[in-house]
């Protein structure tokens, strides 16, 4: 079964990086990645499918416009079944607590440790 993951970051090169990092998983068809470059765009993608196919959202916190934490709150409010994890350069306790209290599954700091990220995604794929 294919798992669809949404990655939200205002840095466009993140897409290229993720596609290469999960090259094998994408090729084998176990993983599908989609990308949004702002919170609004992310909500748009989630809203475009009913019910949304995305099962996991990884979002940057620090973005112009809607912040990742705001996006987290909105996603959790509308789609409680979707997992949301945060990826932030600001790995301070304030952000961490706010994210976890708002229902984030995990909190990853930048630079992204792709090993732990792969583990997290791998676990999710197995669950599916």
Partner 1 sequence: MIIAIISLILLHYLKRPMGLIKVSPEWVRIFNGGMIAAGVLWIVIGFNIPIISDLARILSFILIGLIVYVTLKTEDLQHRKGMVYAWLPIIGVEIIQALVEIISESFYKRYETYFEAAGVFAFIWAIAMWVNNSKQRKALELEKLKAMQREKEFQITESLKTQLERQVAQRTKELTNQKNELQHALKDLQAAQNQLIHAEKMASLGELTAGIAHEIQNPLNFVNNFSDVSTELLTELKEELEAGNKEDAMEILEDVIQNLGKIHHHGKRADSIVKGMLLHSRSSTGQKELTDINALADEYLRLSYHGLRAKDKSFTADFKLEEDPSLEKMNVVPGDLGRVLLNLINNGFYAAGEKKKELAEKGNTEFLPKVTVSIKKVDSGVEIRVRDNGKGIPEDIKAKIFQPFFTTKPTGKGTGLGLSMSYDIVTKGHNGEINVISEPEEFTEFEIKIPNQ
Residue closer to partner 1, measured from CB, 53 or 62: 62
Contact positions vs partner 1 (CB under 8 A) = 11, 13, 16-17, 20-21, 23, 62, 64-67, 70, 89-90, 92, 94-95, 98, 110-112, 114
What is the C-alpha to C-alpha distance for residues 106 and 109, in angstroms, rounded to an integer?
10
5 close to 121: Cβ distance less than 8 angstroms? yes
Residue closer to partner 1, measured from CB, 66 or 121: 66
Residue closer to partner 1, measured from CB, 50 or 93: 93
Closest contact distance (angstroms) between CB of 114 and partner 1 is 8
Residue closer to partner 1, measured from CB, 21 or 105: 21
What is the C-alpha to C-alpha distance for residues 16 and 14, in angstroms, rounded to an integer?
6
Closest contact distance (angstroms) between CB of 81 and partner 1 is 25
Closest contact distance (angstroms) between CB of 126 and partner 1 is 22
């Amino acid at each position: 079964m294919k798992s669809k993951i949404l990655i939200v970051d205002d840095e466009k090169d993140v897409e290229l990086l993720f596609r290469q990092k999960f090259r094998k998983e994408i090729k084998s068809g176990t993983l599908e990645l989609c990308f949004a470059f702002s919170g609004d765009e992310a909500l748009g993608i989630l809203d475009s499918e009913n019910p949304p196919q995305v099962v996991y959202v990884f979002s940057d916190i620090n973005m112009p416009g809607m912040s990742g934490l705001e996006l987290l709150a909105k996603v959790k409010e509308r789609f409680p079944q979707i997992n949301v994890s945060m990826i932030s350069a600001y790995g301070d306790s304030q952000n961490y607590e706010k994210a976890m209290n708002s229902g984030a599954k995990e909190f990853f700091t930048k630079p992204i440790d792709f090993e732990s990220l792969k583990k997290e995604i791998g676990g999710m794929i197995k669950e599916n």
